[in-house]
Structure 1
Amino acid sequence: MWNEPYLETCCRSALHRVSLCGAVGRPAGLKDGPCLERLAGMGLVRRRGDGRYELTPSGTARHASEVLKRA
């Protein structure tokens, strides 16, 4: 049974871009800002003190299962 909120294509792409940024983090103020805010509200990313976004452990797991298609 699927019990996770659906991620729009744009939000899945934003999640992947945050993953690609790694420890540097994804800066705020880019075109995917609304998606990053939505992902933050879902607990998949968090905004650091320097304003950049990074994956949370939940975001790492969701990225692996939904974007990379790994179990």
Structure 2
Amino acid sequence: MWNEPYLETCCRSALHRLTLVGPAGRPDGLKDGPCLARLRERGLARQRADGRYELTGEGTARHARDVLKTAV
């Protein structure tokens, strides 16, 4: 049964960019800022003390499932 909120295309793209940037994190204030905030609200990303966003374990799993289309 499907019980996860739908991620808009822009938010899936922001999720993918978070995986590409890796440990450096994505800075706040970029064009995808609203999507990063939504990902944070859903527990898929977190904002570090330096203001940059990084993936959570849940975000990594959601990326694998929704973007890479792999079974997790």
Compute the TM-score of the two structures, normalised by the length of structure 2.
0.97
1:32 CA drift (Å): 0.3
Residue 47 of structure 2: aligned partner: 47
Q: Percent identity?
A: 75
TM-score by length of 1: 0.98
Unmatched runs of 5 consecutive residues or more in structure 1: none
2-structure distance, mates of 1:68, 1:28: 25
Q: C-alpha displacement at 1:58, in angstroms?
A: 0.2
Q: Secondary structure at the match of 2:49?
A: coil
**Number of matched pairs:** 71
Superposed displacement of residue 26, structure 1: 0.7
Structure 2 unaligned blocks of 5 or more? none
String of CA shifts for 1:21-56, please: whole Å, max 9, x gaps.
100001110000000000000000000001000000
